[in-house]
Structures are given as C-alpha cells and as structure tokens.
Structure 1
C-alpha cells in the first residue's frame, strides 16, 4: 500500500521511487521553466476530464514549441499511478518538459530533443469554500505564453504567498488593462445581477477545464452562467463585494467549484446562483468522469 503522504511517480514507462532521480540538472524544465503541465482531480479512482486535459496539454505544448505528447503513453502513466495510489489519490499531475537542453533559453534542434514526461498521483485536500485576497501584481494578457499552462509558475508562487500572508487561500489578479483576470490556480466567476460571469479568455486567463464545463453544463441546465464581454468585468468590480453587491466563485481542477466566503478578510455571502452552480457541477461530475 502506498504512503498517502508521498506521491506515486511514473516516468519512462514504469513506476519510480520518490527518491529516484528522474531529470538531469540541465533539463530545460528546471533551468528555464520550459515545460507544460496538467492537473486532474480524481473521481472514483479515475482522472476527471482526462481527455479534455490531454487536449489542453497538447495545445500548451504546441504554444510553447514543444513536441506533442504521446497521448497513449500519458494515459498509461496515469493508469499506473492511480492503480498504485489507490483510494488515497486526490489529484494527478502530468508534466512535460523540453528535456535536456542548453543553459540558456534556446533549445537543441528538434531532432536532438528528448522531452521529459513525468506523471504523479497524490493527495488533494479540498475545501467546499474559498477565501481570496487582492494582490498588486498583474497578468500580461499579451504575453507570449498567455493562456498556456506552463511550468513557469514563479509569479503564482509569489502571489499565492501574499494571499496566505493575508489569511486567504487564493489570490485574485487583474491584467495590464485593469480587467479582472483569474487566480493563481483557478478561474473566477462574479455573481452579479442574478447571473454568474467569468472573464473572457482575451483577459489572459487560462482556459480552465472546470470553467469550460461549468459554462457548458450551466447553459444546458438553464443556469445564468456566461463568459463576460471584454471590459465587462473591471478589477474594480471587486469593490462591490463587501457591500453585498456581488458574490464570487472559484473553479479549478482540484477545488472544483467553490463559493468565495471572504475577500481581503471581509466575510462574503454565498449567492444563490453560485450555490446552484456548485450543486450542478458536483452532480454532473459524478455522472461522467470523462465528459
């Protein structure tokens, strides 16, 4: 039986010990953050929405200029780690890097590239609610990697540390033109005027899988959930929250759909549409593990 405190690791066709070296010190994912990844929640022992995550992994790899991952190989790794982790698994992480490379930002020629693929399974404590804080940093919606799920996560580490310093568990970021964008590892929805709105992808936010499913399932169920128009959700909209003018909701592959109960240390109520969205998502997720 696996130790629930330690991840189960797979790479290069087999399970690995947590103490076993897997990547060289000149792996481009380590030296310059040249890599992409996906994280899936685990439902009934299976990676939730794995097909959608694999499609996004391929899109991110293409956007970064990495070779497309071998989908069959990734699926084999996912199956292996989940079988070994058993009921302790709460999440699966798939990481693809450029593999060994120069010390600078340039890569080896494609014919000389040997990407690194690592699949992990481990625990994932969940909370039914979220507490968020505003931070002073912004997303660059015109970045070369905007909308890609890359391993270059230093900005998120700094922003999330500030949120934790304020007693929150997620940070909310604007983009460079003052629009509400996203969290460090989540998408955000604003409940306002009887509907749930989420920033458009043009804001620079990640095309979250949970976000995508909530928009689809909400539309099918007649729930008033939609993508906002460009400029419809300025970052200053958050100023309306403390007075009860709006509610907030976070979505992500581990947290699923979580109403926000505090902003900058001030309590928020859970809106009717947010509560309905959470109920809907949990029900649909239980019905189909790979929608």
Structure 2
C-alpha cells in the first residue's frame, strides 16, 4: 500500500504519462528510517526537503509543515502494518503536470511508500568483505544541484550496473575536478590515524542526513580531528579506514579498494555513538 497524494491505495496506482518526475526528473525524494512508529531525524529530512524544493523553485503548499510530512509518512506505515517494526520509507515529491521544460503548474504531488527492515538499530557486519573501486565513466558536477536528492540519478544507476558487472559491492564517484566525492548510495568518510575526513558539500556530494548526524557525533569526540576537505584518488590507498553512510544502513565499512585492505575500528566506535544518538532522540 502507498500514500498517493494523501490517499492510501494499492501499489498498482499509476501516474500520468506526462508526470514531470517521470518525464524530466522534476522531482525530489527522501529516504527515511522509521522504527516502531518513530521517524528518525524527521526534522533534518523535512528541512532538507524544503530547502531542495526552494532550490528547484517548487511552490511549497501552505499545509506542507513538518507535522503534515510526519503524518503522511505514518499513513503509509500504518497501511502496511509496520508500526511495530522498522521500515524504510521513500517520499517522492514531484511538480504538477504541464509544460515542457518550462512548467505550467505551481502544484506539487507526492507518493509515500514503506517497506520492512530487518533491524531496529544500526548494525555493522565486519565479517563480510565489502570491495569498492572508482567509477570513472561519468563525473559529478561540483555544484548545488548535485547535492540534492532528485530523481535524476543516471550516474548512480549506471555506476551500480558497473559495480555489479565487475563483482564490486559499490563504487566511488569522482567530480569534474577529479576529486572523490561520495559512494553510489551514501557519503564517504576516511580515517588516517586520529583524523576523520569527509568531502565537503561544495565538491558536489549529497547533503546527507546521516552525514550531518555523524559530523555532530565526531565533533564531540576529543580523540579525533574532523576535517571537511577535497579527497584525491591518490589518498585512498593511504587511509586506515573508509566507510559509507546513509540513513538506512547507518555505517558501511569498506574492507578493500584495489590492493588495499582496511580496518573497521573507528567505524565500530562511531556506530555505537550513533545508536546512542538515535535512542536519545526517540
């Protein structure tokens, strides 16, 4: 069951052929984690969505408050009987039908879907290898649009196919300045000694919700220095650890990049702190 513009209906609901999200990628989405009816990082997701809608010059409806956003998510959770477990929720907001590249409508529509997750908290599996490599067929632009979660994700789709064809678990994306910016499905963090580094938003990486949460956690740890700076591909094999973050997985350690293998010690520490943050927030 899905929530389609406020009405709960079955998953076979169709959209118009000229839906702008389908026709032009004129849409945004948020992927959220809901645990026993509690929406994790709701405020961060809501404000990112509002900021993204403004950047795309979408007109935000007056009723589209954070409370409304939460209620519409819970409609999908309840309809799918996921109130007593953990769930992955996707909210897609698209501009109303009409026009070619130039929109003729100021309305917006939305779809909310929910599927079950296996665990209530973030877990880290350090027994399973996780190998990545660079994806160099196409590049990310280091601009504001690249930081948004739009439905225009061709590089992520093609990169995922490339990873699958080459028996990789993920790929790292590079921007046009030849800096490593992120993974296909999350933000990238690197560890060298007591320094934790992550690419800056200005390099074109996703303005990730979990990235923001983890930055707050790291800043409170006296034993580590946090830096947001551009990452050269040549740095990767000199690092002690690398890991990927997103709100569904939490922290995914990278165990191998080319001939280099990595530890997971800092990732484990940060995951414990992150789970404490989640429990306190909810």
Q: TM-score w.r.t. structure 1 length?
A: 0.85
Change over 3 Å in CA distance of 1:271–1:57 after alignment to 2 = same
Structure-2 separation of matches of 1:95 and 1:228: 29
Asked whether 1:9 is paired with 2:24, we answer no
Residue matched to 1:214: 214
What is the match of residue 105 of structure 1?
A: 101
**Cα-to-partner distance string for 1:14-34 (whole Å, 9 max, x where unaligned):** 21101122x211111010000
Distance of aligned partners of 1:90 and 1:222 in 2 relative to their CA distance in 1, 3 Å threshold? farther
RMSD, matched Cα: 2.1
C-alpha deviation, 1:88, in angstroms: 5.5
Secondary structure of 2:145 counterpart: coil
1:279 aligns with 2:275: no
Deviations 1:107-138 (A, max 9, x none): 11xxx332111111113468735432221132
Question: Which structure 2 residue ranges, 5 or more long, are not aligned?
Answer: none
Is the 8 Å Cα contact of residues 35 and 150 (structure 1) preserved in structure 2? yes
Structure 2 CA distance for aligned equivalents of residues 49 and 198 of structure 1: 21
Q: Which residue number corresponds to residue 77 of structure 2?
A: 82
Q: Give distance in 2, aligned partners of 1:199 and 1:139.
A: 13
1:56-106 deviations in Å (ceiling 9; x for gaps): 00111111111225124322211111122314652111110112122x321
| Residues 160, 221 of structure 1: alpha-carbon distance in 2 compared, 3 angstrom cutoff | same
Contact 2:188/2:243, CA 8 A, preserved across alignment: yes
Dislocated runs of 4+, deviation >6 Å: none
SS of 1:116's equivalent in the other structure is strand
Q: 1:173-192, aligned counterparts within 5 Å?
A: 173-192=173-192
| Residues 154-173 of structure 1 mapped to structure 2, 5 A cutoff | 154-173=154-173
The equivalent residue for 2:237 is 239
Aligned residue in 1 for 2:57: 65
- 1: distance between equivalents of 2:247 and 2:112? 16
State whether structure 2 residue 132 is matched by structure 1 residue 135.
no
Q: How many Å separate the matches in 2 of 1:45 and 1:225?
A: 35
Equivalent residue in structure 2 for 1:261, among 225, 236, 255: 255
Task: Work out the CA distance in 2 between the residues paired with 1:83 and 1:37.
Answer: 20
Report Cα offsets for 1:185-243 as digits up to 9, x if no partner: 200001113221111111111111111111101212435252323x4x21221233xxx
Q: 1:132 to 1:120 in 2, by over 3 A?
A: same
1:92 aligns with 2:89: yes
